[in-house]
Each structure stands twice: as C-alpha cells, then as structure tokens.
C-alpha cells in the first residue's frame, strides 16, 4: 500500500489573493497526496482555505486577484500549475471532475437534463448521440435515479434537491474521472438525503475505483466516507492522519474543538462546546500559531513561534507546540 505511487501530490501550495486591502493568504503551505481509489477529507471552518485548495488543483483560482505563488500540483506525475487554461480544461473534462454544494449553480435551468448530459458526454467521448443517450441513462441508474429514461426529459427544477445532486454527480462521472473533488456536496441537503448521497459516494468509489477529495466542515461526513483526513485552519493543515486515528487520537486543540462541537447521541445530557472566538483575518495573521488566540492550551511560546507540521506518530502529523520534542519545547520556553 505504501509503495503505491500517488495519483495527486500537492506540495508546498501557496495561493494568495492580492486585494486592495492586503494580501489574503488563503492557502499558505499545503502538502498532501492521494492514492488511486482513496477518499481524502479536507475539513475546517468557513474561510480556512478548503475551496481555494480545490480551485488551485483544478486551475480555477480567479486571477486576478488570486495567484498560486508557490508550490506544485503533480497529477499523474505532471505539474498542473504549469498548464495552460486550454490544457486544464482538457484535464477537468477527462481526468478530474467536481461536484459543488449547490447543483442549481452548475445545472442550466432552461435545458433538460438529457440535453445537458448528452452534451457533456459528447464533449468527452467519441460517441454517437444514441450511444451518449444510452450512457446518460446508465449514469442516472448508477446514481440511483428511478425511471431514468423518463427523467432525462425533465428540467433541473423538476428534481428534488437530493435528486439534483445525484444528477450533478452523474454528470461529473460522465468522463470516468480518476479523481473527483466534491466541495460540500451534501451541505444543502437534509440529513436523510445527505446519508443517501454519502452512501452513493461510497458505492461509486468501490465500483469505479476513483479517488475522491471530500471537502466539508462536517466531521460526521468525514467519519462516514473518508480514509484519511486533513484538518485545515487559516490556510494551513494543522492535523493529518487516518480517519479512525483522528477520532481516537486526535491531538490538535482545534481538531478536539471541532469534535467537541459535534452532538453525540447518549443517554445523558451533553454540553456542546463551541470553539471560542473567530477565525483570524488572513491578511494580518497573528505572529506565532494562527490558532493561539482561540486555543485553550495556549503557552507563551505559541504567541511567537509558528510550529511546523510534525510527525507525532506513524502517519500522524500535527502542527502544535504541545506535541513538539521536549528539547525544542525547552528552547521556546526558557
């Protein structure tokens, strides 16, 4: 497993926005890889840089004001940061697909689902219209839309929210991507529909052997579908490990704060603890650790030293002075 080469390897990624009011360091040093068929979760509060990480991979950062100022995005060994818009369009159409939170922003309300699906399929495959229609029906079946032949004739507004999201997923799958990036794909749905869509992701991943990056602010979604998870705070990963390990051995005070804010079903009444404070202004990050102003365990050294992401255990990375080697702790707290 370890020797399997990654499908995608993001190294030292920095994506900044150059605005009139200052430089917004939306993504500020992100490293991760994803193996074929793996599901990686990216989790964090609003504004932590999850979507901009995805946009950077897809070549969709609005420029200006945004720019990838440093780093590499190696996909199947090629650096996507160096690609032209035209080359990126080809990669987005054939290799990497995406699903967003609100399907209505991606579906065209004035065309039937049939027209939109067939167009997408024909753009990627050398099919006749008849073959494309057959493929569209197969895809709708795969994502669990009943009576797909008939439903093809419908317009997007004739589907419920959950069904629309399934249509979007079917379209995203139409090019047989090796990587699917899903940005909050279930956030707009009610919990039962959310569970069905997550089941669908699991099924697709098994059947199609596709890697998935699942972006969410919800640790419950991570627990449900992800193999590994990267927790982001203020544009940087603060913890990165296997999902089960994160829930059993999560270490970063921010991760623990996120966990404490999930309601659990227990007999006793449980107090939910929100994380105090608000995420920092990315134009003027505090010196030292970005989470220090909100951290329950803050030490004096945290206000001056921005810790590195370190391996605290096998395959478990944490960016926090609490878990640094004792020598370096001594060095920072004389």
Peptide bond preceding 64 in cis form (omega within 30 of 0) = yes
Distance CA 238, CA 70 (A): 19
Q: Of residues 15, 39, 48, 51, which one binds Mg ion by CB under 5 A?
A: 51
- Residues 58-77, one symbol each (x = binds ligand ATP by CB under 6 A, - = not), give ----x--xx-----------
Nearest approach, Cβ of 206 to ligand ATP (angstroms)? 27
Residue 322: φ, ψ to 5°:
-60, -25
Closest CA to 8 of 43, 70, 57: 57
Residue closer to ligand ATP (CB basis): 172 or 215: 215
Question: Which residue, 46 or 84, is less far from ligand ATP as judged by CB?
Answer: 46
Residue in the block written with tokens 């650096």: 79
Question: Which residue is listed with tokens 């074929």?
Answer: 36
Using CB under 6 A, count the residues that bind ligand ATP.
17
State the residue for tokens 């449900």.
Answer: 224
Residue number, 142 or 275, with CB nearest to ligand ATP = 275
Q: Tell which one of 34, 38, 40, 47 touches ligand ATP (CB under 6 A).
A: 47
Evaluate whether 319 touches 252 at the Cβ level (below 8 Å).
Answer: yes
Interface with Mg ion includes 186 (CB under 5 A)?
A: no
Nearer to ligand ATP, 65 or 249 (CB): 65
Please list the helix, strand and coil fractions of the chain in percent, rounded to the nearest 5, in that order.
40, 25, 40
CB neighbours of 248 closer than 8 A, spacing ≥ 6?
Answer: none
Contact flag: residue 222 with ligand ATP (CB under 6 A): no
List residues near ligand ATP by CB under 6 A: 17, 19, 24, 26, 44, 46-52, 62, 65-66, 217, 282
């Amino acid at each position: 497993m370890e020797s399997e080469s990654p499908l995608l390897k993001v190294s030292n990624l920095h994506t900044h926005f150059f605005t009139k009011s200052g430089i917004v360091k939306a993504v500020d040093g992100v490293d991760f890889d994803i193996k074929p068929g793996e599901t990686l979760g990216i989790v964090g509060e609003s504004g932590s840089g999850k979507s901009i990480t995805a946009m950077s991979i897809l070549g969709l950062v609005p420029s200006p004001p945004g720019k990838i100022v440093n780093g590499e995005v190696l996909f199947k060994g090629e650096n996507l940061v160096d690609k032209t818009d035209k080359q990126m369009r080809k990669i987005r159409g054939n290799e990497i697909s995406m699903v967003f939170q609100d399907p209505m922003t991606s579906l065209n309300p004035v065309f039937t689902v049939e027209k939109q699906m067939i167009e997408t399929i024909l753009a990627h495959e050398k099919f006749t219209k008849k073959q494309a229609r057959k493929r569209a029906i197969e895809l709708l079946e795969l994502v669990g839309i009943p009576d797909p032949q008939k439903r093809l004739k419908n317009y997007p507004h004739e589907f419920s929210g959950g069904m629309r999201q399934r249509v979007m997923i079917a379209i995203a799958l139409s090019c047989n991507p090796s990587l699917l990036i899903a940005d909050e794909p279930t956030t707009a749905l009610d919990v039962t529909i959310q569970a069905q869509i997550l089941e669908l992701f699991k099924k697709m991943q098994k059947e199609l052997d596709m890697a998935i990056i699942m972006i969410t602010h919800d640790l419950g979604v991570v627990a449900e579908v992800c193999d590994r998870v990267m927790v982001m705070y203020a544009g940087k990963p603060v913890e990165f490990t296997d999902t089960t390990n994160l829930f059993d051995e999560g270490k970063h005070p921010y991760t623990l704060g996120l966990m404490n804010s999930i309601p659990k079903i227990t007999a006793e009444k449980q107090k939910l603890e929100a994380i105090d404070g608000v995420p920092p202004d990315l134009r003027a990050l505090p010196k030292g650790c970005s989470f220090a102003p909100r951290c329950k365990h803050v030490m004096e050294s945290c206000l001056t030293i921005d810790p590195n992401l370190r391996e605290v255990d096998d395959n478990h990375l944490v960016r926090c002075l609490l878990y640094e080697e004792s020598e370096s702790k001594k060095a920072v707290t004389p």
